Amino acid sequence: MSPFLAWARLELRQLLRARVLLVAASVLLATGVAAIVDGAARVAAEREVIAALEPALREQESYLRKTHAPNDDLGLVLYYLAMPIAHEPNAWTALSTGLRDVHPYSRHLRFIGLVPQLYQTDIANPLKQLAGSFDYGFALVFLVPLFIIGASYDVRSRDDDLGTESLVCSQPTRLSRLLALRLGLRAALVSAVALALLAFAVAWLGLPLDARAGAFALASLAYIALWFVAVFLVASLRRSSAWNAIALVGAWMAFCVLLPALVNLAILTASPARGGVELTLAQRQEMNAGWDRPKRATLDPFFARRPEWASTPVPEDRFSWPWYYAMHEMGDAHVAREVDAYHAALARRERWTERAAFALPPLALQLLLDRMAGTDMATELAFRDSIAAYHEQLKQHVYPLLFNGKGLDAFDIDAVPRHRFAGAGQPVQVSALAGLLGVLALLGVMIPQAVRRIDATPRKEARAPRAPWFAGALTRKEPS
């Protein structure tokens, strides 16, 4: 048996005997399984809520028909009726919560103004946003690097700590190969945990084995390899174990916490926008101001937007439902430019985030998973656009009934269009995957220099292991 194979057998035996390491790997595996099961339970609960939307609509319509006469004004009934809309999760949603902890899966859309209904969910609980969500994406992006650091920070310096550095350096095998062997065994362990979790997710969630599964597996392995390359580069500096641990934990804090926060702050500063709360207040103020204005001040701009109803007589000396719904629409029209600017700002922020992911591997992996799960900002914007288009469909359906003075008996709930959104699942985000592989390749360029630095270590004669610092105190004799 060659010396290298003998050393590999010895390192594997030591790795299998490291109970703390195996226990930590088991805890990491259990954490990932718990995250997947919890995500599946949350998604299943949301699917039940979505499935109950249509029956709830039927019950609401039945109640309104019981409490109103058939010839009652339809505008009064429509004021209370709410149509269901849903952003249905896909098979990957259980792995990454993304924006779904802030924006709900399902909503109810009334026939009144759109802006307050669409943007009131932007009023998020800051404590909930601060705590974040526990999902598989969190375990992979944040916990796996910490496990890698804990398992590998002393892969080079432990020989110096144990006093076996001279013995290792005297071996006929190059020191860089020995370090690569140690890291390779640990990388195999972490990769096995990641692939086992992906296999469990495929079996538990019924994920399709398509290009998305292959891309996610490739991205996960590239992310793991990136952190092991970082450990190898730090180990090549030949510092102490404490210094290595601090350096690697500092890198984790920088790339997983600090730099993404700074990038987010820079993006928010560079692309300012009025928030959903401000848009809601502006729409409300404009709409409520219509109560104190002459009705022609509302109807004239409304008829200019919808000339097909310009010849319809609308009472100006009393309240009427056509005027009321026109007032809501003009409130939306008052903030239409601000809404477009808000959407454009969010889209710009998303594009800049994708660009920043080229240099931040944790962000790239999270974006890749969010895009496949349909929980990213691009999908949320597409969902909001679908709501706006659906609200317009509702108005096109009910305006002929309202402006022609029809009663409740003329309203057919089955004829009302239903909301459909086909953007719950998105294809693989190639830019995020390219960013991961690009950073890995960039670090890989530095490996040859690190190998030369490690192999340039002068070989020393083997010496006995150093005694611990307290050995002298234990053997010192007391004066008689």
Helix (H, G, I), strand (E, B) or coil at 106: strand
For residues 208 and 157, which has the higher predicted lDDT (pLDDT)?
A: 208
Bridge partners of 73?
A: 407
Structure tokens at 179: 């370090």
- Taking a C-beta distance cutoff of 8 angstroms, is the pair 96, 40 a contact? no
User: pLDDT at residue 259 above 50?
Assistant: yes
Is the confidence at residue 7, as pLDDT, over 90? no
Which residues have CB under 8 Å from 103's CB, separation 6+? Answer: 87, 121, 380
φ, ψ at 107 (rounded to 5°): -145, 175
Q: Specify the pLDDT at position 473.
A: 46
Is the pLDDT confidence value at 50 over 90? yes
Rounded-to-integer distance, Cα 175 and Cα 181, Å: 10
Buried b (16+ CB within 10 A) or exposed e, 381-418: bbbbebbeebbeebbeebbebbbeebebeebeeeebee
∠ CA(258), CA(262), CA(267), 5° rounding?
150
Task: Answer yes or no: are the C-beta atoms of 419 and 390 closer than 8 Å.
Answer: yes
Judged against a pLDDT cut of 50, whether residue 469 lies above it is answered with no
Is the pLDDT at 182 greater than 50? The verdict is yes
Structure tokens at 155: 């892969």
More confident site: 106 or 468 = 106
| CA within 13 Å, CB half, 196 | 14
HSE-CB at 289 with a 13 A cutoff on CA atoms is 11
The H or E element that residue 207 is part of is none
**Contact predicate 139/32, CB 8 Å:** yes
Give yes or no for residue 328 having a pLDDT over 80: yes
Distance CA 228, CA 91 (A): 30
pLDDT band, residue 162 (cuts 50/70/90): low
Query: Is residue 454 very low, low, confident or very high in pLDDT (cuts 50, 70, 90)?
Result: confident
At residue 413, the pLDDT reads 93
As a whole number, mean pLDDT of residues 83-102 equals: 89
- For 288, phi and psi rounded to 5 degrees? -70, -25
Q: Are 342 and 273 in contact (CB under 8 A)?
A: yes
The most confident of 88-97, 98-107, 138-147, by mean pLDDT: 138-147
DSSP state of 84: E
The pLDDT, as a whole number, for residue 164 is 57
Mean pLDDT, residues 215-241 taken together: 93
Between CA 400 and CA 312 the distance in angstroms is 10
Closest C-alpha to 361, from 268, 226, 253? 226
User: DSSP characters for 213-230?
Assistant: HHHHHHHHHHHHHHHHHH
Which residue type does 185 have? L
The DSSP output letter for 296 is H
- Report pLDDT for 223: 96
- List the one residue out of 167, 156, 173 whose CA is nearest residue 465: 167
Beta partners for 108? 84
Beta bridge partners of 83: 109
Query: pLDDT for 348-395, tens place per residue?
Result: 999 999 999 999 999 999 999 999 998 888 899 999 999 999 999 999
**Is the CB of residue 84 less than 8 Å from the CB of residue 54?**
yes
pLDDT class of 479 with cuts at 50, 70, 90: low
What per-residue confidence (pLDDT) applies to 156?
A: 79
Please give the average per-residue pLDDT across 218-246, as a whole number. Answer: 93
pLDDT class of 128 with cuts at 50, 70, 90? very low
Kindly tell me if the per-residue pLDDT of 459 is higher than 50: no
DSSP secondary structure string, 351-417?
HHHHHHTTT-HHHHHHHHHHHHHT-SHHHHHHHHHHHHHHHHHHHHHHHHHHHTT-BGGG--GGGS-
Q: For residue 57, give both structure tokens.
A: 């609509």
What is the band of 234 on the pLDDT scale with cuts at 50, 70, 90? Answer: very high
Which residue has better confidence, 400 or 10? 400
Question: How does DSSP classify residue 423?
Answer: -
The model's pLDDT over 276-311, given as tens digits with 9 standing for 90+, comes to 888 999 999 999 999 999 999 999 999 999 999 998
pLDDT beyond 80 at 263: yes
123 pLDDT band (50/70/90 cuts)?
very low
Mean pLDDT for the stretch of residues 400-417: 92
Mapped onto helix, strand or coil, the DSSP state of residue 271 is coil
Burial of 79: CB neighbours in 10 Å, binned 0-12, 13-18, 19+: middle
* Distance (Å, whole) CA 331 – CA 334: 5
Long-range CB pairs of 122-125, under 8 A, 24+ apart, other chains included? 122/275, 122/276, 122/277, 123/276, 123/277
Q: What is the mean pLDDT of residues 217-227?
A: 95
